[in-house]
């Protein structure tokens, strides 16, 4: 029996030997790959259909996101209201999402309802009609949302830093505009839908406590669809970054604070520096106890929060520092950022701080593997980026073994002021 008078030992996160649970993999009759984590204590399931239908593949700006959003807003036999009512009746959640490379349809539900719900999802993938009325409502809402958002400095800053880093015609640099919304029509959506969904490339990720006949259920509903499941051709967009490095934008004359974005190009996950940079970034501005937070928020009081992060695009990425600060202290905030970067370039991180960061990072990984939905999410991220479990174990090993000297070398390579774009939007 457990002796509750004796305190349990305190263990560091880095002492745990973390393992990434393997997924089950099989192909449907039409060669659609399925990745599955069958685990969990509750009778619930989550499933995602991932298509190569992000904005990288669109011929006209915003067509990919509009198609993805409206795919559940009307079929040949049912209206948007009837479709929503159907999923609501079974307590299920049907969602969509569109990114640069992929577009997703997701379903969360009780496992026992999968036999009833899966045919309806298959109908959405093959028989959506994109009614003119639904498209009109969508465009009106998007224009209103855009008009309001453009009054916010942080929204404008997020758009512009991507333009400076990649170019306005690059998929990672494109943004929503009234002109692009006005140019969309139903024919654009129907054509994209036919190419990228009905006859597209689909991968299925499913997790939860699944019925014993799940393979048959998926095959019966999706194994006969006309997906063209061949490896997607690589996307090689030419990055056209801005030549000027410093920008000050006056967006609102009554603004009381400025949105600061500092950014520079960075390699993707396949770079040898990726995992090491996650550690350096955590020290710099990646968590609440970071150098930037300790100095600029806690000591100087210039901002409520300041963060640095490595963007996670498939082909190219960027190192970004992001914050909103009082209008009168924006310049001082930027100067303090570079003071902290200079310290990392010139001084070794002490072992106590590095051990704290190691524990924080490994603890975060442990938290991100708490359950089948989180595990399949990590696998999906790896698979869509062409990685496997070696990336997981290498990243953990890097966190546990990286030295102060390696971090200093990395700081001298990437935390260099002259290679960053500087943007402040008031």
Query: How does pLDDT run across 228-282, given as a tens digit for each residue?
Result: 876 666 567 888 999 999 999 999 988 999 999 999 999 999 999 999 999 999 9
* CATH number reported for the structural domain that contains residue 48 in this entry: 3.30.830.10
Are residues 67 and 196 in contact, defined by beta-carbon separation less than 8 angstroms? Answer: yes
Q: Using CA atoms, how far apart are residues 311 and 263, in angstroms rounded to an integer?
A: 10
Would strands 257-266 and 421-425 be described as parallel, antiparallel, or unpaired? Answer: antiparallel
Q: Do 117 and 61 fall within a single domain?
A: yes
Q: Report the predicted TM-score, pTM, of the whole model to 2 decimal places.
A: 0.92
Has residue 234 been placed in a domain?
A: no
Q: Do 204 and 272 fall within a single domain?
A: no
Q: Do 184 and 64 fall within a single domain?
A: yes
Q: Do 272 and 399 fall within a single domain?
A: yes
What is the per-residue DSSP string for 200-218?
S-EEEEEEES--TTHHHHH
pLDDT digits (tens, 9 = 90+) for 291-335: 999 999 999 999 999 999 999 888 889 999 999 999 999 999 999
State the residue range of the domain holding 330: 246-425
Contacts of 26 (CB under 8 A, 6+ apart): 33, 34, 36, 215
Report the length, in residues, of the chain. 426
Has residue 230 been placed in a domain?
A: no
Q: Do 185 and 109 fall within a single domain?
A: yes
User: How large is the average pLDDT for residues 348-374?
Assistant: 94
Structure tokens at 120: 């309806």
| Number of helices (H), then strands (E), in the chain | 15, 11
Number of domains in the chain: 2
């Amino acid at each position: 029996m457990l002796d509750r008078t004796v305190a349990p030992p305190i263990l560091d996160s880095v002492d745990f030997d973390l393992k990434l649970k393997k997924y089950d993999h099989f192909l449907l009759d039409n060669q659609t790959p399925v990745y599955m984590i069958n685990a969990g204590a509750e009778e619930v399931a989550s499933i995602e259909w991932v298509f190569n239908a992000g904005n990288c593949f669109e011929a006209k700006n915003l067509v990919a996101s509009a198609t993805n959003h409206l795919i559940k807003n009307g079929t040949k036999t049912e209206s948007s209201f009837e479709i929503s009512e159907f999923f609501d009746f079974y307590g299920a959640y049907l969602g969509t999402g569109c990114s640069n490379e992929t577009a997703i349809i997701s379903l969360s539900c009780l496992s026992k309802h999968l036999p009833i719900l899966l045919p309806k999802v298959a109908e959405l993938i093959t028989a959506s009609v994109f009614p003119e009325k639904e498209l009109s409502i969508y465009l009106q809402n998007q224009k209103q949302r855009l008009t309001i958002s453009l009054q916010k400095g942080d929204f404008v800053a997020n758009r512009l830093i991507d333009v400076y880093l990649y170019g306005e015609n690059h998929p990672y640099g494109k943004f929503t505009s009234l002109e692009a919304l006005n140019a969309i029509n139903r024919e654009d959506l129907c054509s994209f839908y036919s190419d990228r969904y009905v006859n597209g490339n689909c991968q299925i990720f499913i997790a939860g406590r699944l019925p014993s006949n799940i393979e048959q259920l998926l095959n019966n509903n999706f194994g006969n669809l006309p997906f063209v499941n061949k490896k997607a051709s690589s996307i090689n967009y030419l990055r056209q970054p801005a030549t000027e490095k410093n920008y000050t934008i006056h967006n609102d004359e009554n603004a009381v604070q400025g949105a600061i974005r500092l950014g520079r190009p960075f390699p993707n996950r396949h770079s040898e520096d990726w995992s090491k940079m996650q550690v350096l970034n955590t020290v710099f501005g990646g968590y609440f106890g970071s150098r930037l937070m300790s100095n600029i928020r806690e000591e100087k009081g210039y901002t409520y929060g300041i963060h640095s992060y490595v963007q996670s695009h498939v082909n190219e990425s960027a190192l970004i520092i992001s914050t909103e600060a009082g209008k009168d202290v924006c310049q001082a905030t930027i100067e303090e950022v570079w003071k902290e970067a200079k310290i990392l370039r010139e001084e070794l991180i002490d072992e106590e701080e590095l051990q704290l960061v190691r524990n924080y990072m490994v603890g975060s990984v442990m938290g991100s593997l708490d359950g089948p939905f989180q595990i399949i999410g990590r696998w999906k991220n790896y698979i869509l980026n062409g990685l496997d479990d070696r990336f997981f174990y290498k990243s953990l090993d890097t966190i546990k073994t990286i030295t102060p000297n390696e971090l200093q070398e990395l700081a001298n390579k990437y935390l260099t002021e002259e290679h960053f774009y500087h943007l402040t939007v008031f």
